[in-house]
Chain A
């Protein structure tokens, strides 16, 4: 049998998918044990036990200064920033993307502006954001919004503009006005695309969040990682990074489910 025809079934796919992850964990455990055998106070590759001990103080013991449980306060702060930012991104992208996609005149007027803004590296204007919005929450949220929104707008506007012309003509022959056409024909078909765009934007959004937190913050997952870096606390950094990836995966799965539940018609092809 040819290799291209070897298709694992669902159960085997899960098993196969777990193999590389398990391998990485095993290799880590092995190397870590080896390093600790040579130097019991090694900080670079902490043992799982060390990680649990280090994390326990952050998870269950309140910080003597602020009285917060540090890990949960960090998580809440980061998720709040990310949630607000992605909410603003989605809403503004939907609004602007729809207008640009549906109205050729709007596209001719503002398309160039959106493209120009989209090519500015967001991190490069982070100083401007800090100067304009101060060092508070607004600047961090603004960085994510500035970074993600232009991409979402362009993606959505292109998608809406590329909807088959036949549908637009048909809707008009059924008596639809511009508004009704946008509301009933373009908007429902834009929604699954917006969710797909948001899923793709989760990666960049996390990058901007961590960057902003690293530079100026007093709470947040990114802030904590960059803070404990000074003490070479890999026993905190590694669990934090794992937690961030878990959160990112959970958000991705949630968005995928939302799209499947809310817009089942768009997913009939990939069943």
Chain B
């Protein structure tokens, strides 16, 4: 499998505080990478780098072999834990947003046949994520799980090279979370996606991922803890993948993230 996203000796610093150091990673196409680690270990910073929301202080990030511009673009889709959908648009219009921006540069609105085509595509995607009955509802009328389904549908229709998920299921009930796991695995297979997912839930990381990255600081200077940054301390490729052979996390990884595990019992 070819590499789609490469981190080449990436450092991220805020002033004299080093957040990430020496991140060297290559993400293969069609992999599902779970990122775990304690709070403040730079998981979200790592995702922001991949998203282009921030630029690395040193090093290079390559997407398909080309340097990543320090700006978000349609080649990377994203789903956040909250606020990923537009509250003033119905579900259908939310999903049509990408097409409308691409096709109508000035008005960002489509009319006539173009609009019907876009609406049909959006509807198809909404049906696929299980929101076929909620086309004309506003996000505030949807439950948390439905809002995340909507956010995923919206991101997928833009056909991103990489889909970035920032604790996408963190705010959901355990039962709903199971449904979402099935959904995201199915979409990952069907659309041949490459996924980077940050999560606090270690069992979720092992259940979904084909590769688990654990972020933490390699070294700690007690006098100046901020002078050492975090990096991927464990990089575990997993082979897969029927629900029966979900791997049990190795004990050292469990110990590492024990403090942040919120829900282990619900998915194992």
Contact = CB atoms under 8 A, between A and B. Distances in A.
A169 B140 contact: no
B149 interface: no
Interface in A162-187: 164, 166-167, 169-177, 179-180, 183-185
A173 B85 CA distance: 12
Contacts of B82: 164, 166
Main secondary structure of the interface of A (DSSP, over half): helix
Interface stretch (B69-77, B171-179, B188-196, B232-240): B69-77
Contacts of A164: 82-83
B73 A175 contact: yes
B5 interface: no
B191 to A, nearest CB: 16
Nearest to A264: B138
Given A167-B83, A175-B74, A265-B138, A180 B108 contact: yes
Nearest to A266: B88
B86 interface: yes
B98 A174 contact: yes
Interface string B79-117: 010111111110000000110111001111100000000
Contacts, number: 85
Contacts of B148: none
A264 B87 CA distance: 11
A175 B78 contact: no
Contacts of A184: 97, 100-101, 108-109
Best-buried of A170, A179, A189 by chain B (most CB within 10 Å): A170
B266 interface: no
A136 interface: no
Interface in A7-54: none
A176 B71 CA distance: 12
A173 B160 contact: yes
Nearest to B51: A169
Contacts of A176: 97, 101, 108
B39 interface: no
Nearest to A191: B88
A94 to B, nearest CB: 16
Interface residues of A, number: 25
A167 B86 contact: yes
Contact of A170 (B78, B107, B108): B78
A188 interface: yes
B155 interface: yes
A177 B105 CA distance: 8
Contacts of B86: 167, 170-171, 185
A268 interface: yes
Contacts of B107: 183
B105 A174 contact: no
B97 A265 contact: no
A189 B100 CA distance: 18
Contacts of A171: 86, 97, 101
A265 B142 CA distance: 12
Interface in B108-134: 108-109
A188 B109 CA distance: 13
Interface of A: 164, 166-167, 169-177, 179-180, 183-185, 188-189, 263-266, 268-269
